[in-house]
Amino acid sequence: MNSAWSGPAAPDADGIAFLKGHGTENDFVILPDPDGLLDLSAAAVARLCDRRAGIGGDGVLRVVRSAAHPEAAALAGEAAWFMDYRNGDGSVAEMCGNGVRVFARYLERIGAAGPGEVAVATRAGIRRVRVAPPAAGGAPGEVTVGMGRATLPGGEVNVTVGARTWPSHHVNMGNPHAVTFVDDLSHAGPLLDAPAVDAGDAYPDGVNVEFVVRRGPRHVALRVHERGSGETRSCGTGACAVMVAAARRDGVDPSVTGEPATYTVDVPGGRLVITEHPDGTVEMTGPAVIVAEGFIDPAWLRG
């Protein structure tokens, strides 16, 4: 592999290195910047994520050594790498479940992680990721992420699309989610614009909204509007929030039963398997794929 992928991200003769990857079709531009040299403005992120004039993506994963980033330096003793995640509109986000799987796949690609566990620093704390060995035929193994504990802040939340309004479940997975159970996923509409959420001041920085239908026992499907990105093909933290809300709706609470609960969650871009353990920790398993690599023209990125 070209050494540019693990070296400084400052422009060289070829430009700024990037890769493109996705997890259940939630896609990201990956920017290797181990020494934190890249000045990444919100406008630059939006240009990169533009699907017509840029590379295209739901967000940007900047790969920085924890010790080189002021937000992660205190975590450097536990996790060597920090996932600086930005939404497609350039806004900063706490976490991205699909993104952290793709992030771990990149670390595997450059030899910074192998099959087994790697710790990744995020704005929502340390996330421990297990990369499975390659599957039969050499296909990349799936990636499992320890997503932390869900919190259920409670309070009345209502989501409205057109003439329909539903009560929703407020679930926090390090970022906020309004989980809405509906009769048909088409009722969510085109989701080009954010659904109206009536929750008082519960979401000062916006909220991700999931629309959910039941497919069978411990099996659900969703559509999601992510704050700062619009409707996406998948949302990892959203799938975890949905699993917890669905389990509680089914009367299942692992902290009470003492047994893990596992749900299959179908997203438009594929399938994720979510398990909540008796201690409240949530794990997510799914694919992560790197599909391309190249160089960005620095002059274009500056606009």
Percent with pLDDT over 70 in the chain: 96
Residue-range definition of the domain harbouring residue 166: 157-285
CATH number of the domain bearing residue 272: 3.10.310.10
Q: Do 164 and 281 fall within a single domain?
A: yes
Q: Is 96 a catalytic residue?
A: yes
Angstrom CA distances, 91 to 59, 84, 151, 299, stand at 9, 11, 23, 22
Pinpoint the alpha helices (H) of the chain: 42-49, 97-109, 236-249, 254-257, 298-302
Q: Give the tokens for residue 169.
A: 């479940």
Residue 21 annotated as lining a ligand binding site: no
Percent with pLDDT over 90 in the chain: 81
Residue 87 annotated as lining a ligand binding site: yes
Helix (H, G, I), strand (E, B) or coil at 213: strand
Over the chain, what is the mean pLDDT?
A: 92
What pTM was computed for the model? 0.89
Q: Give the tokens for residue 20.
A: 């493109």
The one catalytic residue in 96, 107, 113, 207 is: 96
Residue 190, pLDDT score = 86
**Rg of the chain over all Cα atoms, to the nearest angstrom:** 19
Q: Do 90 and 179 fall within a single domain?
A: no
The one catalytic residue in 61, 235, 247, 274 is: 235
- pLDDT tens for residues 22-36? 999 999 999 999 999
Beta strands in 141-288 (DSSP E): 143-149, 157-161, 164-172, 176-181, 196-198, 208-216, 219-226, 230-232, 261-267, 270-276, 281-286
Q: Do 125 and 203 fall within a single domain?
A: no
Query: Is the predicted pLDDT of residue 231 greater than 50, yes or no?
Result: yes
Q: Do 185 and 130 fall within a single domain?
A: no
140/164 Cα distance (integer angstroms): 42
Q: Do 98 and 7 fall within a single domain?
A: yes
Give a yes or no: residue 32 inside a domain.
yes
Residue 98 annotated as lining a ligand binding site: yes
Nearest to 36 by CA among 4, 65, 79, 2: 65
Q: Give the tokens for residue 301.
A: 């990125």
Q: Do 110 and 33 fall within a single domain?
A: yes
Residue 237 annotated as lining a ligand binding site: yes
How many folded domains does the chain comprise? 2
Residue 12, pLDDT score = 60
- 262 versus 93: the higher-pLDDT residue is 262
Q: Do 128 and 168 fall within a single domain?
A: no
Q: Is 240 a catalytic residue?
A: no
- pLDDT tens for residues 101-148? 999 999 999 999 888 899 999 999 999 999 999 888 888 899 999 999
